[in-house]
Amino acid sequence: MNQRFSSASVKRGAGAALLALALGASGSVLLAQSAAPGKVPDLSGFWERRDDVGGGNFGGILEKIVPKASLTPEVVKANQETAARQAQGEVVAFGSKWCLSNLYPFFMQHSAAWDLFQTQTEIMQAAEVHTFPRHIYLDGRKHPSPARLVPTVNGHSIGHWEGDTLVVDTVGFVGGGGTPGGGRVGKNTHLTERFKLIDGGKKLSVVSTWEDPSIYLKPHTYELQYYKSDPGTYAFEETCHADDPKQSGSVVAPGQKY
């Protein structure tokens, strides 16, 4: 859920402050190096899905627009066991649980908007749902060596431009999340994404390809499209307190289990 404000200058000021906080001391430097118009597409702004209502996958919309993943027998069996538990009334979640940080790509398949900040050397995605900012480095760095790579909920992402398309390569997930199409995210999963503006910049296409021989028999590829929010849009923070029964989704309802 996002809110709209009449002053776009307030949004820009708040965005700059958030980016500086998220990037640390280097934030002001990166802001000063913002990508010059005309050199690469400007992906900045709020983006949101509009193919369903509410959070996640209400109405089974994702099953209609995302192909089923080709999975290993072990994952197929695990999915069948999960479906049986759900049929008995259990709440089973892979990307989110109580007030823990949502695992990637949870916010990408959620209906809530996410904000994208763009500079020459880095792109950051700040989601409204409960998770950490995602940093995509464009400064030419490589992934850390496996011995030094610290797994995170969003993984370690590096990107580069191929014409008008941003290509993002991500490794280093903590594992445990789920992907549209019935797939999973493991500690050795490799993700490639292609971000591209379409419909005159009103929409953003993101084509994702997941690879992990322990999960997928072949690379799992699908496209999700996002609509750009109106100018002046700003984020509405999602708070979550696991011990507060009045907050929807923060605790397990009677008769349900995690």
Distance, in Å, from the CA atom of 114 to the CA atom of 17, rounded to the nearest integer, reads 16
- Domain presence at residue 251: no
Could you list the residue range(s) of the whole structural domain that residue 101 is in?
2-235
Q: What is the pTM of this model?
A: 0.76
Residues 161-211 have pLDDT tens digits of 999 999 999 999 998 889 999 999 999 999 999 999 999 999 999 999 999
| pLDDT attached to residue 216 | 98
Q: What's the pLDDT band for 39 if we cut at 50, 70, 90?
A: confident
Give the residue-averaged pLDDT of 97-110.
82
- Domain presence at residue 257: no
Is residue 25 within 8 Å of residue 13, measured between CB atoms? no
Residues 57-70 have pLDDT tens digits of 545 677 788 999 99
- Domain presence at residue 74: yes
E strand spans, the chain? 2-4, 45-48, 114-118, 122-127, 134-137, 156-162, 165-171, 178-179, 183-184, 190-198, 203-211, 220-228, 233-235
- Domain presence at residue 248: no
- Domain presence at residue 244: no
- Domain presence at residue 228: yes
> Which CATH number belongs to the domain containing residue 120 in this structure?
2.40.128.20
Residues 140-151 have pLDDT tens digits of 999 999 999 999
Of 18 and 167, the one with more pLDDT: 167
Distance, in Å, from the CA atom of 115 to the CA atom of 12, rounded to the nearest integer, reads 12
Find all residues with CB under 8 Å of 217, minimum gap 6, and list them. 70, 71, 72
Residue of 35, 44, 19 whose CA lies nearest to 139: 35
Distance, in Å, from the CA atom of 115 to the CA atom of 44, rounded to the nearest integer, reads 7
- Domain presence at residue 91: yes
- Domain presence at residue 189: yes
Distance, in Å, from the CA atom of 47 to the CA atom of 225, rounded to the nearest integer, reads 9
Of 65 and 246, the one with more pLDDT: 65
Q: How many domains does the chain have?
A: 1
